[in-house]
Structure 1
């Protein structure tokens, strides 16, 4: 009985005053909040341009780098775009038969949302770009 009351008290305190770091006794904000029903939805991708001018999607399969790793360090790439040279090197290492990349960029595609429904519109925003010297 004491353990139940103690856990209940911790859950209540965590709900009212806690942060993600207090999980499981604090809210896990990813599930406890919702997006703006009229706000654009973001979709981050990494792409390169090869020496022939073709756009190449950079994926875990052809670079060994997960999208979550890029998103987790996104601000570092924005602050120092030259770090994207490492992504180009990883791509070349994992795809040796492919043409070398001339540039790599992080692009956010903002999908239009109105009343919690997609509008079918989007706009792309390049937030970091590296070009081979």
Structure 2
């Protein structure tokens, strides 16, 4: 067997200490963007067993007054992309016009949309089980001028 040199041991000790400090600092002060040296909140937290569960959807109304569920297959936009930009859509609902344009592009021949909205369904949870109660909340809406 080859023995490790003194210098090699010091390098390994230093690398271990640096990684340890980064992990500790990330655990105490980090955010998701610091992963793997920070917490990945999706896996490090648990929802309130008596809090409402959030289910976000995007829907539009076409020129004939029908409600259309907007999804990846008819718009090219994944729900996660909408949820990730939720605050921006709430702050500037006119951005939802881009969703209507994506729907028109990905659904040729479909009736044009006159409005697009982000709807959050709050599902009641009690003792970590659904209660059967729910309520819808429109958090952002764009209407064609």
- TM-score over 0.5 for the pair: yes
Task: Provide the aligned length of Structure 1 versus Structure 2.
Answer: 133
Alignment pair present for 1:69 and 2:52:
no
RMSD over aligned CA atoms reads 1.7
How far residue 77 of structure 1 moved from its aligned partner, in angstroms, is 1.2
Secondary structure, aligned partner of 1:35: coil
The counterpart of 2:57, out of the listed 45, 53, 66, is 45
Distance 1:14 1:90, change over 3 A: closer
TM-score, structure 2 normalization? 0.82
- Structure 1: state its 5+ residue gaps: none
Mapped partners of 2:115, 2:109: distance in 1: 17
How far residue 61 of structure 1 moved from its aligned partner, in angstroms, is 0.6
Mapped partners of 1:43, 1:80: distance in 2: 21
Corresponding residue number in structure 2 for 1:125:
137
Mapped partners of 1:129, 1:99: distance in 2: 19
The counterpart of 1:105, out of the listed 96, 117, 125, is 117
In the TM superposition, structure 1's runs of 4+ consecutive aligned residues that sit over 4 Å from their partners are: 3-6
TM-score, structure 1 normalization? 0.89
How far residue 115 of structure 1 moved from its aligned partner, in angstroms, is 0.9
